[in-house]
Structure 1
Amino acid sequence: MPRPTKGARLGGSPAHEKLILSNLATQLFQHGRIKTTEAKAKRLRPLAEKLITKAKKGDMHNRRQVLTVVRDKSVVHHLFTEIAPTFAERPGGYTRITKIGQRKGDSAPMAVIELVTEALNQVSVSKAPASPKETVATPVDEKTKVVSEAPAEETEAAEATEAPAEETAEAPAEETAEAPAEETEAKKDNA
Protein backbone atom coordinates (compact mmCIF):
# COMPACT_ATOMS: atom_id res chain seq x y z
CA MET A 1 0.00 0.00 0.00
CA PRO A 2 1.45 3.40 -0.88
CA ARG A 3 2.42 5.53 2.06
CA PRO A 4 1.06 9.09 2.04
CA THR A 5 3.58 11.88 2.08
CA LYS A 6 4.20 13.56 5.41
CA GLY A 7 2.95 17.01 6.23
CA ALA A 8 -0.09 18.97 5.25
CA ARG A 9 -1.63 18.26 1.88
CA LEU A 10 -1.76 20.95 -0.73
CA GLY A 11 -5.49 20.47 -1.27
CA GLY A 12 -8.27 19.06 0.83
CA SER A 13 -7.80 15.43 -0.21
CA PRO A 14 -5.21 13.22 -1.87
CA ALA A 15 -7.13 13.37 -5.15
CA HIS A 16 -7.17 17.17 -5.05
CA GLU A 17 -3.44 17.26 -4.32
CA LYS A 18 -2.79 14.95 -7.28
CA LEU A 19 -4.79 17.27 -9.55
CA ILE A 20 -2.91 20.34 -8.29
CA LEU A 21 0.48 18.70 -8.98
CA SER A 22 -0.72 17.50 -12.37
CA ASN A 23 -1.80 21.00 -13.36
CA LEU A 24 1.45 22.50 -12.06
CA ALA A 25 3.51 19.98 -14.05
CA THR A 26 1.48 20.71 -17.19
CA GLN A 27 2.05 24.45 -16.80
CA LEU A 28 5.75 23.95 -16.06
CA PHE A 29 6.32 21.96 -19.25
CA GLN A 30 4.16 24.30 -21.29
CA HIS A 31 5.76 27.58 -20.13
CA GLY A 32 9.20 26.52 -18.89
CA ARG A 33 8.81 28.35 -15.59
CA ILE A 34 5.98 29.06 -13.18
CA LYS A 35 5.50 31.18 -10.08
CA THR A 36 3.91 29.35 -7.15
CA THR A 37 4.28 28.90 -3.39
CA GLU A 38 7.43 27.28 -2.00
CA ALA A 39 5.47 24.31 -0.66
CA LYS A 40 3.93 23.57 -4.06
CA ALA A 41 7.28 24.04 -5.82
CA LYS A 42 9.00 21.63 -3.44
CA ARG A 43 6.25 19.04 -3.98
CA LEU A 44 6.31 19.55 -7.77
CA ARG A 45 10.07 19.14 -8.23
CA PRO A 46 10.30 15.32 -7.72
CA LEU A 47 7.27 14.75 -9.94
CA ALA A 48 8.66 16.90 -12.75
CA GLU A 49 12.10 15.23 -12.49
CA LYS A 50 10.51 11.77 -12.82
CA LEU A 51 8.42 12.83 -15.79
CA ILE A 52 11.46 14.27 -17.59
CA THR A 53 13.41 11.06 -16.92
CA LYS A 54 10.59 9.06 -18.48
CA ALA A 55 10.50 11.44 -21.43
CA LYS A 56 14.25 10.93 -21.95
CA LYS A 57 13.64 7.20 -22.45
CA GLY A 58 11.11 8.09 -25.12
CA ASP A 59 9.34 4.75 -25.64
CA MET A 60 5.58 4.21 -25.82
CA HIS A 61 5.30 2.76 -22.31
CA ASN A 62 6.86 5.85 -20.75
CA ARG A 63 4.76 8.15 -22.92
CA ARG A 64 1.60 6.47 -21.61
CA GLN A 65 2.83 6.78 -18.03
CA VAL A 66 3.44 10.51 -18.51
CA LEU A 67 -0.04 10.84 -20.07
CA THR A 68 -1.56 9.56 -16.79
CA VAL A 69 -0.17 12.66 -15.04
CA VAL A 70 -0.10 15.29 -17.81
CA ARG A 71 -3.43 14.96 -19.64
CA ASP A 72 -2.68 17.44 -22.45
CA LYS A 73 -1.29 15.53 -25.46
CA SER A 74 0.31 18.62 -26.98
CA VAL A 75 2.27 19.27 -23.77
CA VAL A 76 3.38 15.62 -23.65
CA HIS A 77 4.48 15.87 -27.29
CA HIS A 78 6.42 19.05 -26.45
CA LEU A 79 7.99 17.29 -23.46
CA PHE A 80 9.12 14.27 -25.47
CA THR A 81 10.28 16.06 -28.61
CA GLU A 82 11.75 19.35 -27.37
CA ILE A 83 12.40 19.29 -23.63
CA ALA A 84 13.77 15.76 -23.17
CA PRO A 85 16.48 16.01 -25.89
CA THR A 86 17.90 19.12 -24.20
CA PHE A 87 18.45 17.07 -21.02
CA ALA A 88 19.97 14.04 -22.81
CA GLU A 89 23.45 14.59 -21.31
CA ARG A 90 22.22 15.67 -17.87
CA PRO A 91 21.86 12.84 -15.33
CA GLY A 92 19.40 14.75 -13.13
CA GLY A 93 18.64 18.17 -11.69
CA TYR A 94 16.33 19.30 -14.47
CA THR A 95 14.52 21.92 -12.40
CA ARG A 96 15.54 24.89 -10.26
CA ILE A 97 13.61 26.54 -7.42
CA THR A 98 14.31 30.21 -6.73
CA LYS A 99 12.71 31.87 -3.71
CA ILE A 100 11.31 35.30 -4.52
CA GLY A 101 9.92 36.57 -1.23
CA GLN A 102 6.44 36.73 0.22
CA ARG A 103 3.11 37.25 -1.46
CA LYS A 104 1.55 40.59 -0.69
CA GLY A 105 -1.95 39.41 0.26
CA ASP A 106 -1.33 36.57 2.71
CA SER A 107 2.47 36.70 3.15
CA ALA A 108 2.88 33.20 1.73
CA PRO A 109 6.48 32.40 0.73
CA MET A 110 6.67 32.40 -3.07
CA ALA A 111 9.10 30.72 -5.45
CA VAL A 112 9.76 30.31 -9.15
CA ILE A 113 10.30 26.78 -10.40
CA GLU A 114 11.88 26.55 -13.84
CA LEU A 115 13.51 24.10 -16.19
CA VAL A 116 17.30 24.39 -16.23
CA THR A 117 18.44 25.58 -19.65
CA GLU A 118 22.19 25.96 -19.08
CA ALA A 119 24.56 23.31 -20.38
CA LEU A 120 25.99 20.88 -17.87
CA ASN A 121 29.54 21.87 -16.84
CA GLN A 122 31.85 18.93 -17.46
CA VAL A 123 34.88 19.32 -15.22
CA SER A 124 37.86 17.68 -16.88
CA VAL A 125 40.82 16.62 -14.79
CA SER A 126 44.08 17.71 -16.39
CA LYS A 127 47.36 15.91 -15.93
CA ALA A 128 49.77 17.48 -13.48
CA PRO A 129 53.08 18.53 -15.05
CA ALA A 130 55.85 16.00 -14.53
CA SER A 131 58.81 18.38 -14.25
CA PRO A 132 59.40 22.05 -13.46
CA LYS A 133 60.43 22.68 -17.07
CA GLU A 134 56.89 21.87 -18.24
CA THR A 135 55.37 24.42 -15.87
CA VAL A 136 57.27 27.28 -17.52
CA ALA A 137 54.74 28.81 -19.89
CA THR A 138 55.56 30.37 -23.20
CA PRO A 139 56.42 34.00 -22.54
CA VAL A 140 54.05 36.73 -23.60
CA ASP A 141 56.59 39.52 -23.42
CA GLU A 142 60.27 39.93 -22.54
CA LYS A 143 59.62 40.68 -18.82
CA THR A 144 57.73 37.42 -18.41
CA LYS A 145 60.46 35.57 -20.28
CA VAL A 146 63.17 36.71 -17.90
CA VAL A 147 61.11 35.93 -14.80
CA SER A 148 59.88 32.53 -16.00
CA GLU A 149 63.30 31.30 -17.14
CA ALA A 150 65.13 32.24 -13.93
CA PRO A 151 63.40 29.70 -11.65
CA ALA A 152 63.98 26.89 -14.13
CA GLU A 153 67.72 27.63 -14.26
CA GLU A 154 67.89 27.92 -10.49
CA THR A 155 66.24 24.53 -10.02
CA GLU A 156 68.70 22.92 -12.44
CA ALA A 157 71.63 24.53 -10.58
CA ALA A 158 70.19 23.40 -7.24
CA GLU A 159 69.85 19.83 -8.53
CA ALA A 160 73.47 19.85 -9.69
CA THR A 161 74.74 21.05 -6.29
CA GLU A 162 72.62 18.56 -4.37
CA ALA A 163 73.98 15.50 -6.20
CA PRO A 164 77.55 15.63 -4.78
CA ALA A 165 76.17 16.31 -1.30
CA GLU A 166 74.02 13.19 -1.51
CA GLU A 167 76.98 11.10 -2.63
CA THR A 168 79.12 12.32 0.26
CA ALA A 169 76.31 11.76 2.69
CA GLU A 170 75.84 8.18 1.49
CA ALA A 171 79.54 7.26 1.62
CA PRO A 172 80.01 7.62 5.39
CA ALA A 173 76.77 5.75 6.00
CA GLU A 174 78.03 2.82 3.96
CA GLU A 175 81.37 2.85 5.78
CA THR A 176 79.67 2.91 9.16
CA ALA A 177 77.38 0.10 8.08
CA GLU A 178 80.36 -2.00 7.02
CA ALA A 179 82.42 -1.21 10.14
CA PRO A 180 80.07 -2.92 12.62
CA ALA A 181 79.87 -5.92 10.31
CA GLU A 182 83.69 -6.21 10.32
CA GLU A 183 83.78 -5.82 14.12
CA THR A 184 81.27 -8.64 14.57
CA GLU A 185 83.34 -10.89 12.29
CA ALA A 186 86.47 -10.05 14.30
CA LYS A 187 84.68 -10.88 17.54
CA LYS A 188 83.58 -14.23 16.11
CA ASP A 189 87.16 -15.07 15.14
CA ASN A 190 88.43 -14.19 18.64
CA ALA A 191 85.82 -16.30 20.32
Structure 2
Amino acid sequence: MPKPTKGPRLGGGPAHERLMLANLAAALFTHKSIKTTETKAKRLRPYAERLITFAKRGDLHARRRVLAVIGDKTVVHELFTEIAPLVAEREGGYTRITKLGFRKGDNAPMAQIELVLEPVAPKAKPAKKAEAPKAAPVEEPVVEEEAPEAAAEDTASEETTAAEAEVVEEATGDAEAAEETTAEAEAEKA
Protein backbone atom coordinates (compact mmCIF):
# COMPACT_ATOMS: atom_id res chain seq x y z
CA MET A 1 0.00 0.00 0.00
CA PRO A 2 1.55 3.35 -1.02
CA LYS A 3 2.09 5.70 1.87
CA PRO A 4 3.07 9.37 1.60
CA THR A 5 6.74 9.89 2.33
CA LYS A 6 7.17 13.61 1.71
CA GLY A 7 6.76 16.16 4.47
CA PRO A 8 5.09 15.98 7.87
CA ARG A 9 2.06 13.80 8.56
CA LEU A 10 -1.26 15.58 8.71
CA GLY A 11 -3.48 12.96 10.23
CA GLY A 12 -3.82 9.35 11.24
CA GLY A 13 -3.02 7.79 7.89
CA PRO A 14 -2.53 8.40 4.21
CA ALA A 15 -6.24 8.33 3.37
CA HIS A 16 -7.01 10.90 6.06
CA GLU A 17 -4.16 13.07 4.79
CA ARG A 18 -5.47 12.96 1.19
CA LEU A 19 -8.97 13.88 2.34
CA MET A 20 -7.66 16.70 4.51
CA LEU A 21 -5.61 18.19 1.62
CA ALA A 22 -8.59 17.89 -0.73
CA ASN A 23 -10.84 19.70 1.76
CA LEU A 24 -8.23 22.42 2.31
CA ALA A 25 -7.87 22.89 -1.46
CA ALA A 26 -11.66 23.11 -1.89
CA ALA A 27 -11.86 25.72 0.86
CA LEU A 28 -8.98 27.66 -0.71
CA PHE A 29 -10.68 27.73 -4.12
CA THR A 30 -14.02 28.71 -2.59
CA HIS A 31 -12.81 31.49 -0.28
CA LYS A 32 -9.58 32.50 -2.16
CA SER A 33 -7.82 32.69 1.24
CA ILE A 34 -7.80 30.48 4.33
CA LYS A 35 -6.11 30.57 7.71
CA THR A 36 -4.56 27.29 8.87
CA THR A 37 -1.43 25.97 10.53
CA GLU A 38 1.87 26.65 8.85
CA THR A 39 2.53 22.94 8.28
CA LYS A 40 -0.80 22.39 6.56
CA ALA A 41 -0.30 25.49 4.41
CA LYS A 42 3.12 24.28 3.27
CA ARG A 43 1.72 20.85 2.39
CA LEU A 44 -1.27 22.41 0.60
CA ARG A 45 0.75 24.71 -1.66
CA PRO A 46 2.08 22.16 -4.23
CA TYR A 47 -1.22 20.25 -4.10
CA ALA A 48 -3.32 23.32 -4.93
CA GLU A 49 -0.88 24.60 -7.55
CA ARG A 50 -1.03 21.27 -9.38
CA LEU A 51 -4.83 21.48 -9.46
CA ILE A 52 -4.66 25.06 -10.78
CA THR A 53 -2.29 23.89 -13.52
CA PHE A 54 -4.86 21.29 -14.55
CA ALA A 55 -7.53 24.00 -14.56
CA LYS A 56 -5.38 26.16 -16.86
CA ARG A 57 -5.33 23.31 -19.40
CA GLY A 58 -9.12 23.37 -19.34
CA ASP A 59 -9.81 20.16 -21.27
CA LEU A 60 -12.20 17.39 -20.22
CA HIS A 61 -9.46 15.06 -19.02
CA ALA A 62 -8.03 17.75 -16.73
CA ARG A 63 -11.51 18.47 -15.35
CA ARG A 64 -12.05 14.79 -14.57
CA ARG A 65 -8.67 14.53 -12.84
CA VAL A 66 -9.54 17.47 -10.60
CA LEU A 67 -13.00 16.00 -9.94
CA ALA A 68 -11.32 12.79 -8.79
CA VAL A 69 -9.56 14.79 -6.07
CA ILE A 70 -12.23 17.38 -5.19
CA GLY A 71 -15.67 15.80 -5.19
CA ASP A 72 -17.65 19.05 -5.20
CA LYS A 73 -18.65 19.99 -8.76
CA THR A 74 -19.38 23.62 -7.86
CA VAL A 75 -15.84 24.12 -6.54
CA VAL A 76 -14.35 22.51 -9.67
CA HIS A 77 -16.57 24.67 -11.89
CA GLU A 78 -15.42 27.80 -10.02
CA LEU A 79 -11.80 26.70 -10.37
CA PHE A 80 -12.07 26.17 -14.13
CA THR A 81 -14.25 29.18 -15.00
CA GLU A 82 -13.17 31.90 -12.56
CA ILE A 83 -9.72 31.15 -11.15
CA ALA A 84 -7.99 29.63 -14.20
CA PRO A 85 -8.55 32.66 -16.50
CA LEU A 86 -7.18 34.99 -13.82
CA VAL A 87 -3.91 33.06 -13.57
CA ALA A 88 -3.61 32.17 -17.27
CA GLU A 89 -0.60 34.46 -17.83
CA ARG A 90 1.16 33.38 -14.63
CA GLU A 91 3.74 30.60 -15.01
CA GLY A 92 3.52 29.25 -11.49
CA GLY A 93 3.40 30.63 -7.98
CA TYR A 94 -0.38 30.71 -7.78
CA THR A 95 -0.43 30.76 -3.98
CA ARG A 96 1.11 32.93 -1.26
CA ILE A 97 1.78 31.91 2.33
CA THR A 98 1.91 34.62 5.01
CA LYS A 99 2.92 33.74 8.57
CA LEU A 100 0.52 35.09 11.19
CA GLY A 101 2.07 34.23 14.53
CA PHE A 102 1.02 31.61 17.07
CA ARG A 103 -2.40 30.25 18.01
CA LYS A 104 -3.57 31.18 21.50
CA GLY A 105 -4.62 27.73 22.71
CA ASP A 106 -1.76 25.42 21.75
CA ASN A 107 0.84 27.91 20.44
CA ALA A 108 0.78 26.33 16.96
CA PRO A 109 2.36 28.50 14.23
CA MET A 110 -0.43 29.88 12.04
CA ALA A 111 -0.32 31.00 8.42
CA GLN A 112 -2.63 32.39 5.81
CA ILE A 113 -2.54 30.81 2.35
CA GLU A 114 -4.18 32.76 -0.45
CA LEU A 115 -4.47 32.69 -4.21
CA VAL A 116 -2.37 35.21 -6.12
CA LEU A 117 -4.93 36.65 -8.54
CA GLU A 118 -3.26 39.95 -9.38
CA PRO A 119 -2.48 40.41 -13.08
CA VAL A 120 1.11 39.64 -13.98
CA ALA A 121 3.25 41.61 -16.40
CA PRO A 122 5.05 39.07 -18.61
CA LYS A 123 8.80 39.42 -18.65
CA ALA A 124 10.27 40.87 -21.84
CA LYS A 125 12.37 38.32 -23.62
CA PRO A 126 15.93 39.51 -24.23
CA ALA A 127 16.54 40.66 -27.79
CA LYS A 128 19.02 38.70 -29.85
CA LYS A 129 22.34 40.39 -30.51
CA ALA A 130 22.38 39.92 -34.29
CA GLU A 131 18.91 41.11 -35.28
CA ALA A 132 19.92 43.78 -37.82
CA PRO A 133 21.46 42.49 -41.06
CA LYS A 134 25.09 43.47 -41.33
CA ALA A 135 26.85 44.63 -44.48
CA ALA A 136 29.32 42.20 -45.99
CA PRO A 137 32.86 42.89 -44.78
CA VAL A 138 35.11 44.44 -47.40
CA GLU A 139 38.48 42.77 -47.64
CA GLU A 140 41.43 45.08 -48.09
CA PRO A 141 44.25 43.95 -50.36
CA VAL A 142 47.55 43.52 -48.57
CA VAL A 143 50.06 46.14 -49.77
CA GLU A 144 53.69 45.12 -49.45
CA GLU A 145 56.11 47.97 -49.13
CA GLU A 146 59.42 47.83 -50.92
CA ALA A 147 62.05 50.55 -50.60
CA PRO A 148 63.19 51.03 -54.25
CA GLU A 149 59.73 51.15 -55.75
CA ALA A 150 58.14 53.23 -52.95
CA ALA A 151 57.94 56.44 -55.00
CA ALA A 152 56.17 54.74 -57.91
CA GLU A 153 53.73 52.96 -55.65
CA ASP A 154 52.75 56.11 -53.73
CA THR A 155 50.68 57.42 -56.61
CA ALA A 156 49.27 53.98 -57.39
CA SER A 157 48.38 53.29 -53.75
CA GLU A 158 46.63 56.68 -53.41
CA GLU A 159 44.45 55.75 -56.38
CA THR A 160 43.83 52.32 -54.86
CA THR A 161 42.90 53.83 -51.49
CA ALA A 162 40.49 56.24 -53.12
CA ALA A 163 38.92 53.31 -55.00
CA GLU A 164 38.70 51.29 -51.78
CA ALA A 165 37.08 54.24 -50.01
CA GLU A 166 34.44 54.49 -52.73
CA VAL A 167 33.72 50.75 -52.47
CA VAL A 168 33.38 50.98 -48.68
CA GLU A 169 31.19 54.07 -49.00
CA GLU A 170 28.93 52.32 -51.52
CA ALA A 171 28.73 49.14 -49.43
CA THR A 172 27.93 50.82 -46.14
CA GLY A 173 26.66 54.20 -47.26
CA ASP A 174 28.95 55.79 -44.71
CA ALA A 175 31.45 58.50 -45.64
CA GLU A 176 33.22 58.22 -42.28
CA ALA A 177 34.12 54.58 -42.95
CA ALA A 178 35.64 55.62 -46.27
CA GLU A 179 37.78 58.26 -44.54
CA GLU A 180 38.91 55.70 -41.95
CA THR A 181 39.99 53.36 -44.75
CA THR A 182 42.11 56.05 -46.37
CA ALA A 183 43.60 57.01 -43.00
CA GLU A 184 44.54 53.38 -42.31
CA ALA A 185 46.16 53.02 -45.74
CA GLU A 186 48.22 56.18 -45.22
CA ALA A 187 49.29 54.99 -41.76
CA GLU A 188 50.56 51.72 -43.27
CA LYS A 189 52.72 53.61 -45.77
CA ALA A 190 54.52 55.61 -43.11
Say how many residue pairs are matched: 139
Aligned to 2:116: 116
Pick the structure with more helix per residue: 1
Aligned to 2:63: 63
- Secondary structure of 1:8 counterpart: coil
Q: Where in structure 2 are there 5+ consecutive unaligned residues?
A: 128-182
Contact in 1 for aligned 2:35/2:111 (Cα 8 Å) = yes
Spell out, residue by residue over 1:98-138, the C-alpha distance to the aligned partner (whole angstroms, 9 max, x if none): 111111111111100000021113343798xxxxxxxxxxx
Aligned to 2:46: 46
Give 2:57's aligned amino acid.
K
Distance 1:62 1:104 in 2: 41
- Secondary structure of 1:112 counterpart: strand
C-alpha spacing 1:66/1:125, structure 2 compared with 1 (3 Å): closer
C-alpha spacing 1:35/1:96, structure 2 compared with 1 (3 Å): same
The share of aligned pairs that are identical, in percent, is 65
- Secondary structure of 2:89 counterpart: coil
Aligned to 1:20: 20
Spell out, residue by residue over 1:59-102, the C-alpha distance to the aligned partner (whole angstroms, 9 max, x if none): 11111110111111101010011111111111111111111111
Give the alignment of 1:163-182 within 5 angstroms.
none
- Per-residue deviation at 1:8? 3.3
Aligned to 2:175: none
- Per-residue deviation at 1:5? 2.3
Give 2:14's aligned amino acid.
P
Give the alignment of 1:28-107 within 5 angstroms.
28-107=28-107
Distance 1:6 1:55 in 2: 24
Query: TM-score, structure 1 length as denominator?
Result: 0.64
Distance 2:78 2:29 in 1: 8
Query: TM-score, structure 2 length as denominator?
Result: 0.64
Aligned to 2:140: none
What value does the CA root-mean-square deviation take over the aligned residues?
Answer: 2.6
Distance 1:17 1:125 in 2: 41
C-alpha spacing 1:54/1:107, structure 2 compared with 1 (3 Å): same
Distance 1:101 1:90 in 2: 29
Distance 2:75 2:125 in 1: 40
